[in-house]
Amino acid sequence: MRQSRSSEPLRQGSAATQTPGDPQTSGFHLRSVLDAIPGFVWSALPDGDVEFCNQRWLAYTGMSSDEVIGEELAVAIRPQDKSGFVEKWRAALAQGESFEAEARTRQADGRYRWFLIRAVPLRDAEGGISRWYGSNVDIEDLKQAQDEVLKQTSRLDELFEQTPEAVAVLNADGRIIRINKEFTRMFGYDPHEVLERSVNDLIVPERLAESALEYNRRLKSGDRVEVETVRRPKNGTDVHVSLLAVPVNSASAGQVANYAIYRDITERKRVEERLLESEVRFQAIADTAPVMIWTTGTDGLCNYFSKPWLDFTGRTMQQEVGMGWTEGVHPDDVQGCLDRFLPAFHDRLPFRMEYRLRRADGEYRWVDESGIPRYTPGGEFAGYIGCNIDITDRKSAEEERERLRQVQSELAHINRVTTMGELAASIAHEIKQPISAAHTNAKTCLRWLGRNQPDIKEAREAASRVIQDVIRSSEIISRIRVLFKKGEPEREWVDVNEVIREMISLMRSEAARHTISIRTELAPQLPDVRADRVQLQQVFLNLMLNGIDAIIEGNAAGDLTIKSERNSDCQVLISVSDTGIGLPPEQANKVFDAFFTTKPQGTGMGLSISRSIIESHGGRLWVTGNSDRGATFQFTLPLEKAAAA
Q: For residue 461, give the CATH number of its domain.
A: 1.10.287
Q: What is the pLDDT of residue 80?
A: 92
Residues 484 and 500 in one domain: no
Q: Is 197 helix (H, G, I), strand (E, B) or coil?
A: coil
Helix (H, G, I), strand (E, B), or coil: what is residue 180? Answer: coil
| pLDDT at residue number 3 | 46
pLDDT at 538: 78
| CA distance linking residue 471 with residue 505, whole number of Å | 14
Is residue 492 classed as helix, strand or coil in its secondary structure? strand
Residues 6+ apart with CB under 8 A from 494: 528, 529, 530, 531, 533, 536
Q: Residue range 5-15: average pLDDT?
A: 43
Are 319 and 201 within one domain?
A: no
Please check the confidence at residue 42 and state whether its pLDDT lies above 80.
yes
Residue 1 confidence (pLDDT):
47
Residue 93's alpha-carbon distances to 32, 41, 85, 129, 186, in angstroms, are: 27, 18, 12, 9, 56
- More confident of the two residues 460 and 493: 493
Q: Given a cut of 80, is residue 425 above it in pLDDT?
A: no
What are the two backbone dihedrals, phi and then psi, of residue 132, each rounded to the nearest 5 degrees? -115, 140
Distance CA(58)–CA(35), nearest Å, equals 10
Quote the DSSP letter at residue 444. Answer: H
- The pLDDT of 602-606, averaged and rounded, is 60
Same domain flag for 126 and 168: no
The answer as to whether 146 is a domain residue is: no
User: Which pLDDT band holds residue 37 (cuts at 50, 70, 90)?
Assistant: confident
Is 477 a residue whose pLDDT tops 90? no
Lowest mean pLDDT among 93-102, 216-225, 326-335, 550-559: 550-559
Q: Which helix (H) or strand (E) holds 354?
A: strand 351-358
Residue 15 has pLDDT above 70, yes or no: no
Taking only the tens place, the pLDDT of each residue in 108-158 is 999 999 999 999 999 988 889 999 999 999 988 888 887 777 777 667 677
pLDDT digits (tens, 9 = 90+) for 169-212: 888 888 998 888 999 999 999 999 998 899 999 999 999 999 99
CA distance 542 to 609: 9
Q: Output the pLDDT for position 28.
A: 55
| Contact criterion met (CB below 8 Å) for 229 and 243 | yes
Q: Are residues 483 and 550 in the same domain?
A: no
**Per the domain annotation, does 8 fall within a domain?**
no
5 within some domain: no
| Exposure class string for 484-503: b at 16+ Cβ within 10 A, else e | eeeeeeeeeebebbebbebb
With vertex at residue 210, the alpha carbon angle to CA 206 and CA 216, rounded to the nearest 5 degrees, is 115
- Per-residue confidence band for 561, with pLDDT thresholds at 50, 70 and 90: very high
Single out the residue in 138, 171, 199 at which a domain terminates. Answer: 138
Read off the pLDDT of each residue in 308-314 and give the average, rounded to a whole number. 94
Q: At a CB cut-off of 8 Å and minimum separation 6, what does 282 contact?
A: none
Report which of 410, 627, 419, 418 is spatially closest to residue 543, judged by C-alpha positions: 419
**Averaged pLDDT of the chain:** 82
Whole-structure pTM over 0.85, yes or no? no
Domain count, the chain: 5
Query: Are 229 and 368 part of one and the same domain?
Result: no
In a domain, 105, yes or no: yes
Instruction: Mark out the alpha helices in 176-298 (DSSP H runs).
Output: 181-187, 191-194, 199-203, 209-220, 266-288
Measured between alpha carbons, how far is residue 614 from residues 61, 212, 520 in Å? 117, 83, 21
Q: Domain check: are 507 and 590 in the same one?
A: yes
Residue 485's pLDDT band (cuts 50, 70, 90): low
Query: What integer pLDDT is reported at residue 475 of this predicted model?
Result: 62
Measure the N-to-C terminal CA separation of the chain; round to a whole number of Å: 111
What is the model's pLDDT at position 129? Answer: 92
Separation of alpha carbons 517 and 305, rounded Å: 72
The CATH number of whichever domain residue 605 belongs to comes to 3.30.565.10
| Partners of residue 121 on adjacent β-strands | 132
Contacts of 344 (CB under 8 A, 6+ apart): 350, 351, 371
- What are the φ and ψ backbone dihedral angles of 545, each rounded to 5 degrees? -65, -35
Among residues of the chain, what percentage have pLDDT more than 90?
41
Q: Give the span between the Cα atoms of 170 and 214, in whole angstroms.
A: 16
pLDDT score recorded for residue 522: 93
Asked whether residue 300 carries a pLDDT value surpassing 60, the answer given is yes
29 located within any domain: yes
pLDDT-derived band at 506, boundaries 50, 70, 90: confident
Residues 501 and 640 in one domain: yes
What local confidence, expressed as pLDDT, does residue 532 receive?
84
pLDDT score at 145: 81
Q: 35 vs 18, which has greater pLDDT?
A: 35
Residue 459 lies in a domain: yes
Position 644 pLDDT exceeds 60: no
Split at pLDDT 50, 70, 90, the class of 20 is very low
Residue 246, phi then psi, degrees to nearest 5: -130, 130
281 and 427 belong to one structural domain: no
**pLDDT score of 370:** 94
Q: What is the mean pLDDT of residues 450-459?
A: 82
Query: In whole angstroms, what separates CA 120 from the centre of its chain?
Result: 79
Query: Phi and psi of 220, rounded to 5°?
Result: -65, -25
Residues 429-451: what's their mean pLDDT? 71
Beta strand pairing call for 129-138 and 112-123: antiparallel
Helix (H) or strand (E) holding 158: helix 140-162
pLDDT at 446: 84
Range with lowest mean pLDDT among 106-115, 354-363, 429-438, 603-612? 429-438
595 in any annotated domain = yes
pLDDT above 60: residue 12:
no
Would you call 587 exposed, middle or buried from its count of C-beta atoms within 10 A (0-12, 13-18, 19+)? middle
Least confident of 305-314, 472-481, 518-527, 624-633: 472-481
471 phi and psi angles, rounded to 5 deg: -60, -40
pLDDT category at 491 given cuts 50, 70, 90 is confident
Instruction: Beginning with the edge strand found earlier in the chain, give each strand of the sheet holding 558-566 in spatial order.
Output: 516-522, 558-566, 571-578, 631-638, 621-625
Q: In this structure, what CATH number is given to the domain that contains residue 259? A: 3.30.450.20
Residue 242 counted as domain residue = yes
DSSP classification of residue 77: B
Q: What is the pLDDT of residue 283?
A: 76
Residues 504, 462, single domain; the answer is no
Containing structural domain, residue 346: 273-390
Q: Are residues 223 and 311 in the same domain?
A: no
Final residue belonging to a domain, choices 216, 240, 264 = 264
Same domain for 596 and 516: yes
**Residues 433 and 342 grouped into a single domain:** no
Which among 435, 453, 488 is the end of a domain?
Answer: 488
